[in-house]
Amino acid sequence: MSQNKIIVNCPFRYTLQILQGKWRFAIIYSLLKKGTLRFKELERDIEGITPRMLIKELKELEKEKVVRRKAYATVPPTVEYTLTAYGITLEPIIQSMHHWGLSHIEKIKPSKK
């Protein structure tokens, strides 16, 4: 079965394909939380990501129309990233994951007895 058939027949897998990886949710979360960010601001906000990985993931998210890149003709060049209107539609998913994570942290905390 070709990958295109899987994508067409399974919206869940298609969504996972777009949002796969360790960093994409973190990028989207940062942009939802803080709005438009310059590259270095985004890099500082996502602990542990390398510049190379951030560039790669931003390019993929831009290709999928989730993130918008705006470059300014300055020296040195200034580049800003923001979520597109389409990217903002991921907010309920990101918020649900955030709330689930908070609940899970509470659930697995050792109880004080």
pLDDT digits 0-9 by tens, 23-62:
999 999 999 999 999 999 999 999 999 999 999 999 999 9
- Give domain status of residue 37, yes or no: yes
Number of domain units in the chain:
1
112 within some domain = no
The pTM (predicted TM-score) of the whole model is 0.82
Task: Tell which residue, 99, 103, 93, has the closest CA to residue 24.
Answer: 93
- Write down the mean pLDDT value for the chain: 89
The amino acid sitting at 87 is G
Domain harbouring 64, CATH code: 1.10.10.10
Element (H, E) at 98: helix 91-108
From edge to edge, which strands make up the β-sheet containing 67-72? Answer: 37-38, 78-83, 67-72
What is the residue range of 59's domain?
21-107
